[in-house]
Structures are given as structure tokens and as C-alpha cells.
Amino acid sequence: MASEKEKQISAAESYFYKTYNRYPVIFDHGEGVYLYDSEGKAYLDFGAGIAVNGLGYGDPEYTAAIQGQAGKLLHVSNLYYNEPSIAAAQKLLKASGMDRVFFTNSGTEAVEGALKVAKRYAFNKDGKGDHEIIAMRHSFHGRSLGSLSVTGNDHYQKPFMPLIPGIKFATFNDLFSVKQMVNDRTCAIILETIQGEGGIHPAEADFLEGVGTLCKEKGILLILDEIQCGMGRTGEMFAWQNYGVKPDVMTVAKALGNGLPIGAFLARGEAAQAMVPGDHGATYGGNPMVCAGADAVLSIFEKRNITEHVKKTTPYLEKALDEVVEIYEDVVERRGMGFMQGLEFSVPVAEVVTTALVQEGLVLISAGNTVIRFVPPLIIEEKHIDEMKEKLCSAIKGAGLK
């Protein structure tokens, strides 16, 4: 006889579009850095809902903020002003040093907006609509048709061709390959400051600095995708702040809402003035509910100095992961920055991720076929890293790796 969990999973499989290969777990609630399934089992979370739950689960101050707003006002549309969006915008612009912000419902929508800013910026200059954008191979910017067009992965793109024209792909961390792509129609270069889905590859300083200089010299907009690597994950509020290379346009999402669906694109200088009324819109974007959550997140980050905690704790996490590399022959490299780390394996990691979840109660996610990604809540302590390492080692053994 099927258990209640099995019945629910079976029902879900018949209800939902089959676009995910879900794991056989039904999560019920969370507390701190732990998740609990419908049967009461605890799981140490080092995935954070794909880098979303920066404050973990059940934070009292955050919860009170969204509960208070839920009982007050959920939505009015962007035909009117609302106080939570103004407060969140002020804090986000202060943290980023940008000039203007547009709130979206997701990261992929933030990328869509950033691409439109670039095209509108170029159109304002010459009145033409044939401009080009340079993106990076192995990048990931989202799954809508526009963001997919700048995602450098044939596997994601091929079923949905043709995508938007005028996109060229250069090699990440290869400045020469970028320079080869530039011409008088280039209006923007878009890249992730740290490639996430592509395998956790931080931009090299010389590369990012070179791209920034190139953009200034040519009047090209630099768009940095900070959707996964931003919001404190690297020990700075935004990953580009580790390099001192400020973008003209940037995108954020994920940890901005700590679980509520919110993203944003931000711009400075001429790019911040490029759009005019009617150029863009979003019915739900920036509504009072999600902005109350974002406002609370930004306040908590500042009051509790979350970025400093990440900086302080990062060496301990790196040491633990480096020790795993030393122990196991099939684990070949650690790379990353702050609380966005990856372990490269010589074999596919699917079995390790599944074993960690099912047998060890450890939530991990992959980044490609051979990389395990570590993007835990930003509030983890050294004791949680110790627990993670122990569970990870057991999972590696349990998966039959050496």
C-alpha cells in the first residue's frame, strides 16, 4: 500500500509539466539552516533554494515584516506608488551605487529588462535597431526567449530556435575573444561575475577589468548578472565589488527576496535614463508584498553585517572543501568565491547529490554534470560546515566514489 508521501508525489507527477526531475522529498517547513520533510526528517541545507534563502528559514524579523504587509496591502499595480517599493529601492540603490531600479518578478525578467535597456540606449543614439550584444559561452541568464538568447548553452537553446538575433558568444575569461567580437553595432556585453550553472567559475580580475575598460572606450554598456552571486554571497554585497569594476547595468534576484519572487535590473549614468514611459512594464513587479520582504532583507543584511560574516567564515568553508579534494581521488578541484563554491569531480555527480539527500539528510545541488555547488544560507556557522563535510564524505563513499 502506498504511503501518503508516495501518493502525493504520484499526484504531482500527473499534475505538473514534466520539466523538472524532482527528488523524492516533500519539504514541509524550515528552521534556521535546516529543512524538514513531511515525515519530520531534518536536512542540512547547503542549496538554499538555489542561492535564494540567504537568511535561512523562519527568521523572526523577516517573517514579521511580510506578515505585517500581508495584512495591510498586497497589490495595487504600478499605476500608483507604494511605500515598501520606495523603501526597498532606496536601500538597493545605496548598496549598489546605481541610479535607477526596476523591480521584476524573477531573475530572468531582470535580464530581459537589462537587454531592453541596452537596446534602447543604443537606439537613442543612432535611431537604428540592428545592434548586437556579446554574451559568454557556458553562461546562464534564464529560460525566457530573450534571456535564453544570451545563455551560451546549445542544450538549452536548440529546441527553441530561432532566438533573438544579433547575439555573439565570446569565451569567458578570454579578453581577446571578446575584443574579436566587438564592432560598431555592439551595444552591450553581458556576463555573470561568477558563472553559476556553467560550473562555478569566477571572473578573473584581468578579464573583468579588461572588459570594463573596453566598454568605456567603445561606449558599450557592461551588464553584470548578479542574480546568483550577488546579495552578499561573496562577502561583498555584489560580486563585482570584489573587483572594483562597476557595471552600467546589473541584474539581481534570488536572495533579494529570501524566497519571495522578486528581481530587479538597475542602471547608472546614461543607461539609467534610456527608457521612457511605455518601454517596459510588469503588473506584479515591485508590489508592496514582495518589496516589504526585500526591504526587510536589505535592512537585516546591514544591521547584522551579513557580508562580514560571509567574509569571516569563508576560509573555514574553503578549508573544509579543500580537505575533501585531498581525501578523494574523484574530487579534482575546488573553486569559487565566498559562499558560492564548487567541487569539480572526475565523474558525474548525480549519484552523490542523491545519496547526500536521501541517506545523509544534506541538501546539495549540481552545476553541470560534474560539479557540486555549495550555496548555503549566508547565516551558516563553522559547526554547520563541519556537519556538511561529514555528510558529504559519507555520501561520496555511499555513491561508490574513491
Find the CATH number of the domain harbouring 192: 3.40.640.10
| 387: CATH | 3.90.1150.10
Distance CA 133, CA 145 (A): 15
Single-letter amino acid, residue 393: C
In a domain? residue 345: yes
Co-location of 130 and 194 in the same domain = yes
In a domain? residue 139: yes
- Which of 288, 304, 320 is the last residue before a domain boundary? 304
Distance CA 59, CA 65 (A): 10
Instruction: Determine if the pTM surpasses 0.75.
Output: yes
In a domain? residue 64: no
At 144-179, the pLDDT tens digits run: 999 999 999 999 999 999 999 999 999 999 999 999
Co-location of 38 and 83 in the same domain = no
Co-location of 282 and 316 in the same domain = no
In a domain? residue 124: yes
> Residue 264: how many CB atoms within 10 A of its CB?
31
Co-location of 43 and 92 in the same domain = no
Digits of tens for pLDDT over the chain (402 positions)?
888 888 898 888 999 999 888 999 999 999 999 999 999 999 999 999 999 999 999 999 999 999 999 999 999 999 999 999 999 999 999 999 999 999 999 999 999 999 999 999 999 999 998 999 999 999 999 999 999 999 999 999 999 999 999 999 999 999 999 999 999 999 999 999 999 999 999 999 999 999 999 999 999 999 999 999 999 999 999 999 999 999 999 999 999 999 999 999 999 999 999 999 999 999 999 999 999 999 999 999 999 999 999 999 999 999 999 999 999 999 999 999 999 999 999 999 999 999 999 999 999 999 999 999 999 999 999 999 999 999 999 999 999 998
Co-location of 157 and 278 in the same domain = yes
173: left (phi over 0), alpha (psi -120 to 50) or beta: left
Distance CA 360, CA 399 (A): 12
Co-location of 112 and 253 in the same domain = yes
Copy the grid coordinates of residue 374.
555549495
In a domain? residue 179: yes
CA 98 to chain centre: 19
> Residue 17: how many CB atoms within 10 A of its CB?
5
Per-residue HEC secondary structure of the chain comes to: CCCHHHHHHHHHHHHCCCCCCCCCCCEEEEEECEEEECCCCEEEECCHHHHCCCCCECCHHHHHHHHHHHCCCCCCCCCCCCHHHHHHHHHHHHHHCCCEEEEECCHHHHHHHHHHHHHHHHHHHHCCCCCEEEEEECCCCCCCHHHHHCCECHHHHHHHCCCCCCEEEECCCCHHHHHHHCCCCEEEEEEECEECCCCCEECCHHHHHHHHHHHHHHCCEEEEECCCCCCCCCCCCCHHHHCCCCCCEEEECHHHCECECCEEEEECHHHHHCCCCCCCCCCCCCCHHHHHHHHHHHHHHHHHCHHHHHHHHHHHHHHHHHHHHHHCCCEEEEEEECCEEEEEECCCCHHHHHHHHHCCCEECEECCCCEEEECCCCCCCHHHHHHHHHHHHHHHHHCCCC
Determine contact, residues 246/240, Cβ cutoff 8 Å. yes
- Which of 243, 274, 304 is the last residue before a domain boundary? 304
Co-location of 121 and 217 in the same domain = yes
In a domain? residue 65: no
Co-location of 391 and 298 in the same domain = no
Co-location of 275 and 370 in the same domain = no
Distance CA 154, CA 172 (A): 16
- Beta sheet of 365-366, edge-to-edge order: 331-337, 340-345, 371-374, 365-366
Q: What is the pLDDT of residue 251?
A: 98
- Which of 286, 304, 322 is the last residue before a domain boundary? 304
In a domain? residue 31: yes
- Beta sheet of 42-45, edge-to-edge order: 27-31, 34-37, 42-45, 362-363
| Length of the chain, in residues | 402
**Total structural domains within the chain:** 2
Co-location of 93 and 115 in the same domain = yes
In a domain? residue 67: no
Co-location of 205 and 285 in the same domain = yes
Co-location of 290 and 375 in the same domain = no
At 275-295, the pLDDT tens digits run: 999 999 999 999 999 999 999
Residue-number span of the structural domain to which 352 is assigned: 4-58+306-398
